Chain A
Amino acid sequence: MKDNVDSYVTKDGRTIGPVVMEMKNITLRFGGVEAIKDISFDIREGEIRAIIGPNGAGKSSMLNVISGFYVPQDGEVWYRGAPRPAMKPFQVAQQGIARTFQNIALFEGMSVLDNVMTGRLTHMKSGLMSQMLWRGAAEKEEIENREVAERIIDFLEIQAIRKTPVSRLSYGLKKRVELARALAAEPSLLLLDEPMAGMNVEEKEDMSRFILDVNDEFGTTIALIEHDMGVVMDLSDRVVVMDYGKKIGDGTPHEVRNNQEVIDAYLGVAHD
């Protein structure tokens, strides 16, 4: 690993920036169960970082630590070169870290457009009174936010359903709307919890394309959890492999694929 180099260029010619987020010796316990055991890794600017591992490895817990839904018992989360104090999830979101959920958390009662607009909440600043009276700055701000939302809706090719209530959409489309809402926040770090779980081949291909395009077009740093090894190998710049709450591998897809411990974990060698 090129640890202290600020940025470097990969073999495919992709430029990877400096470290934006660093997990230092994170340990997370639920009662007596250790979900995450002393894990350290970093996320660099502009990269697609995958976290993989078998079921129950602690991947989602790790994502929840990053997004503030879980507070680790030990270890520090460093963000932009400084240790992050214990934060509520909404504060993490306000810092520019957006996320999606494994089992989809959308506002079911709202339309697609309204859902995407909620992603703009952290960017809305004008005062209550001017907003209610719909004047000046507030109106301008609303229009700007609306433009961002519409651009993302176009980008993810969901124009046709923009006024549809989310509860009527198929699973695959809901996943896409959730991605749109996260993107609307214009995050500096985007966390995706199994963005392709439960999708058919065609939907998976679409989603992979969108993730690559987002990274390409907006330069968004992405950390994602995925089961499908093939997808992970194609998408990501670097991979963290977890098993039973421990980190068993970290590196480029190629390095990870040839790591004996990783092979064992995936092929199911008996643990001692």
Chain B
Amino acid sequence: MNEQLAFTIEVFANGLMAGVLYALVALGFVLIYKASGIFNYAQGVMALFAAMTLVGIQNGQVPFVHLINAIFGTEIHGFGWTVPSFVAIILTVFVMIGLAWAVQRFVFRHLVGQEPIILFMATIGLAYFLEGVADLMWGSELKTLTVCATESVCLPQGMNMWLETTTYEAMGYGFFIDNLDIVASIIAALLVAGLVMFAQYTKQGRAMRAVADDHQAALSVGVSLNFIWILVWSLAGFVALVAGIMWGAKSGVQFSLSLIALKALPVLMLGGFTSIPGAIVGGLIIGVGEKMFEFLIGAPFLGGATENWFAYMLALVFLVFRPQGLFGEKIIERV
């Protein structure tokens, strides 16, 4: 088999994997935007905050340790225990739900009915505030996130080795796909399936769709807007946690993690701001597109590093020809 072709397929597969992560971040945006019309600039920081909280809990760090030591003159370094990943993830989910409540209670409850630009500004404020809190709470040094303490807990390491050897024997070229990427894809698929089922088949999901469509009408059928908003911020927090774990496990938990929010923007323009499937498909297209473009055109002809701008260029093309995105609702005003 042609080695060039095999390599292309591998690039394609890696693009899909990267796309899954973009899609996860975009998903968080879509959830909040759909239900409340708020473009949540803080989604990336929420992923960072979630990942830092997870690592902090896992390592038995004391929250606000520097602050406590500075005020009380103590010399605390940590609880001195480590928490199993599973327990730490559950605790982090509770922290994210608490965050959702606090954001709704102290910020957006006071901004009901304001212009979208004001809500957007509030999320920018929230992003910087949260970044500061994350720093103060867990410290700013780079942390490594290991969700699978022992490989057998997650996916057996043998799987990708098996894939590599069998493809090598069959085609003379061994495919390599990172274990973590496979886990990420499976989790992302489960997450999306779960969210779609939630939105379609549950009372809360139906109420969420109602709120997304018309606030006044939702109130009149007995839906509490406040509850639904806390719910979507919690869901977005959960999605942020998953995204944070994936990115964190790949490249360490550091403050640049908050910048993945910027990569989600072109994904949203492609998929449409209000579509859950759109976020997924958009993410995959951007992921594959930028890897393939770099491999086929960027590296040989344009001197490389096209991955930095390809996504934005694609988004620009979409803005011109299909502003509502692939799956977004076309806005038709009756005259």
Known: A109-B329, A124-B203. A94 touches B222 (CB 8 A): yes
Question: Is A121 within 8 A of B224, CB to CB?
Answer: no
A residues 29-52 in Cβ contact with B at 8 Å:
none
Judged by a CB distance under 8 angstroms, whether A101 is at the interface is yes
**Chain B's nearest CB lies how many Å from the CB of A181?**
7
**Chain B's nearest CB lies how many Å from the CB of A250?**
27
Chain B residue nearest to A122 in the complex (CB): B222
Determine the chain B residues whose CB is within 8 A of the CB of A93 once the complex forms: 219-222
Judged by a CB distance under 8 angstroms, whether A185 is at the interface is yes
Determine the chain B residues whose CB is within 8 A of the CB of A117 once the complex forms: 206
Question: Is A121 within 8 A of B207, CB to CB?
Answer: yes
A residues 69-91 in Cβ contact with B at 8 Å:
69, 88-91
Question: Is B220 within 8 A of A89, CB to CB?
Answer: yes
**Chain B's nearest CB lies how many Å from the CB of A200?**
18
Question: Is B201 within 8 A of A119, CB to CB?
Answer: no
**Chain B's nearest CB lies how many Å from the CB of A133?**
9
**Chain B's nearest CB lies how many Å from the CB of A173?**
14
Question: Is B203 within 8 A of A107, CB to CB?
Answer: no
**Chain B's nearest CB lies how many Å from the CB of A95?**
9
Determine the chain B residues whose CB is within 8 A of the CB of A114 once the complex forms: 206
Question: Is A110 within 8 A of B197, CB to CB?
Answer: no
Question: Is B221 within 8 A of A118, CB to CB?
Answer: yes
Judged by a CB distance under 8 angstroms, whether A99 is at the interface is yes
Instruction: Give chain B's interface residue range (CB within 8 Å of chain A).
Output: 20 to 34
Judged by a CB distance under 8 angstroms, whether B151 is at the interface is no
Judged by a CB distance under 8 angstroms, whether B62 is at the interface is no
Chain A residue nearest to B212 in the complex (CB): A109
Judged by a CB distance under 8 angstroms, whether A215 is at the interface is no
Question: Is A69 within 8 A of B217, CB to CB?
Answer: no
Q: Which one of A88, A101, A118, A126 has the greatest number of beta carbons of chain B within 10 Å?
A: A118
CA distance A164 to B133 in the complex (A): 48
Determine the chain A residues whose CB is within 8 A of the CB of B329 once the complex forms: 109
A residues 109-149 in Cβ contact with B at 8 Å:
109-110, 114, 117-119, 121-122, 124, 126, 128, 131-132, 134, 142
**Chain B's nearest CB lies how many Å from the CB of A205?**
25
**Chain A's nearest CB lies how many Å from the CB of B172?**
46
Instruction: Indicate with 1 or 0, residue by residue over B209-251, a CB within 8 angstroms of chain A CB atoms.
Output: 1101110111111111100000000000000000000000000
Chain B residue nearest to A68 in the complex (CB): B219
CA distance A69 to B223 in the complex (A): 13
Judged by a CB distance under 8 angstroms, whether A106 is at the interface is yes
Known: A118-B206, A131-B202. A106 touches B223 (CB 8 A): no
How many residue pairs at the A-B interface have CB separations less than 8 Å?
Answer: 85
Question: Is A105 within 8 A of B214, CB to CB?
Answer: yes
Chain B residue nearest to A126 in the complex (CB): B203
Question: Is B207 within 8 A of A69, CB to CB?
Answer: no
Judged by a CB distance under 8 angstroms, whether B194 is at the interface is yes
Judged by a CB distance under 8 angstroms, whether B129 is at the interface is no
Known: A107-B210, A108-B214, A110-B213. A132 touches B201 (CB 8 A): yes
CA distance A271 to B22 in the complex (A): 66
B residues 148-194 in Cβ contact with A at 8 Å:
194
Instruction: Indicate with 1 or 0, residue by residue over A228-241, a CB within 8 angstroms of chain B CB atoms.
Output: 00000000000000
CA distance A91 to B14 in the complex (A): 50
Judged by a CB distance under 8 angstroms, whether A98 is at the interface is yes
**Chain B's nearest CB lies how many Å from the CB of A190?**
11
Known: A90-B223, A121-B222. A105 touches B201 (CB 8 A): no
Query: Contact check: which of A69, A110, A134, A167 meets B219 at CB < 8 Å?
Result: A69
Question: Is B203 within 8 A of A121, CB to CB?
Answer: yes
CA distance A108 to B214 in the complex (A): 8
Judged by a CB distance under 8 angstroms, whether A67 is at the interface is yes
CA distance A98 to B222 in the complex (A): 9
**Chain B's nearest CB lies how many Å from the CB of A30?**
15
Question: Is B194 within 8 A of A67, CB to CB?
Answer: no
Instruction: Indicate with 1 or 0, residue by residue over B277-308, a CB within 8 angstroms of chain A CB atoms.
Output: 00000000000000000000000000000000
Known: A109-B329, A132-B194. A119 touches B221 (CB 8 A): yes
Question: Is A88 within 8 A of B224, CB to CB?
Answer: yes
Chain B residues at the A interface, C-beta cutoff of 8 Å? 194, 197-198, 201-204, 206-207, 209-210, 212-214, 216-225, 329, 332
Q: Which 7 A-B pairs have the closest CB atoms?
A: A93-B222, A105-B217, A107-B213, A89-B219, A122-B222, A131-B202, A124-B203
Write 16 A-B pairs (CB below 8 A) sorted by A numbering: A90-B218, A90-B223, A90-B224, A90-B225, A91-B222, A101-B220, A107-B214, A109-B209, A109-B213, A109-B329, A118-B217, A118-B221, A121-B207, A121-B223, A128-B203, A132-B202
